[in-house]
């Protein structure tokens, strides 16, 4: 059974999607630790409601990003975490963290990477940029994490149309539904050892 560590910053709806998939036996794994960098993140309550260890860890308690990430690394290693999931985590991981969990960190991003991704593109900013640019299709991407922001190998993507009268919130609502589907799917594939990284591409292997 895959041991999963989840990092969050907000409401935790993607965390809930993973929890629900595990409870439905779609994912052969368990979430052994949830950590938030924000004390009021509702995702912490979601975890506690499911009897999952949940912790708020303040960046202010550390002298550097490296020290902060070092604390998370220590907690995750103590719990035996095999996969780290960034489920709406609004911090950039340090190189030390990425090295420690190389090819074992996945992130969900609310656009079709590489469009509207990278430094500065997060949360509502992504959907506002989508509306401003006037694109006709957007979506969500789940990818492995490397040293380049949103630049890791893409695992899976899902798209939705953008209508002329859509607001950024309209787009955000539809994209979030896509996120709730493709993030648990990626975790499932990882748990089944069906993801093979070749360069900057991911191949999905046939299941048993």
Query: Any idea which residues carry the catalytic annotation?
Result: 109
Distance CA 208, CA 194 (A): 10
Which DSSP helix (H) or strand (E) runs through 159? strand 154-161
Asked if residues 127 and 172 have their Cβ atoms less than 8 Å apart, the reply is yes
Annotate 24-91 with DSSP letters as a single string: TTSSSEEEEEEEESSTT-HHHHHHHHTT--EEE--GGGSSSHHHHHHHHHHHHHHTT--EEEESS--S
Collapsing DSSP states into helix, strand and coil, what is residue 173? Answer: helix
Distance CA 5, CA 86 (A): 9
Is cis: bond before 197, omega within 30 of 0?
no
């Amino acid at each position: 059974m895959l041991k999963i560590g989840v990092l969050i910053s907000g409401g935790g709806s993607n965390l809930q999607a993973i929890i629900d998939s595990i409870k439905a036996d779609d994912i052969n794994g368990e979430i052994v630790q949830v950590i938030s960098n924000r004390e009021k993140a509702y995702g912490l309550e979601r975890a506690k409601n499911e009897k999952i260890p949940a912790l708020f860890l303040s960046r202010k308690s550390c002298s550097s990003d490296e020290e902060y990430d070092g604390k998370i690394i220590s907690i995750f290693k103590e719990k035996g975490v095999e996969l780290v999931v960034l489920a709406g985590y609004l911090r950039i991981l340090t190189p030390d963290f990425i090295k420690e969990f190389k090819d074992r960190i996945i992130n969900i991003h609310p656009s079709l990477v590489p469009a509207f991704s990278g430094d500065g593109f997060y949360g509502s900013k992504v959907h506002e940029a989508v509306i401003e640019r006037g694109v006709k299709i957007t979506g969500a991407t789940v990818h492995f994490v490397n040293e380049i922001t949103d630049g890791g190998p893409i695992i899976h993507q899902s798209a939705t149309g953008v209508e002329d009268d859509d607001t950024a919130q309209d787009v955000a609502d539809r994209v979030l539904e896509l996120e709730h589907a493709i993030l648990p799917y990626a975790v499932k594939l990882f748990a089944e050892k069906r993801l093979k990284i070749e360069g900057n591409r991911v191949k999905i292997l046939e299941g048993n």
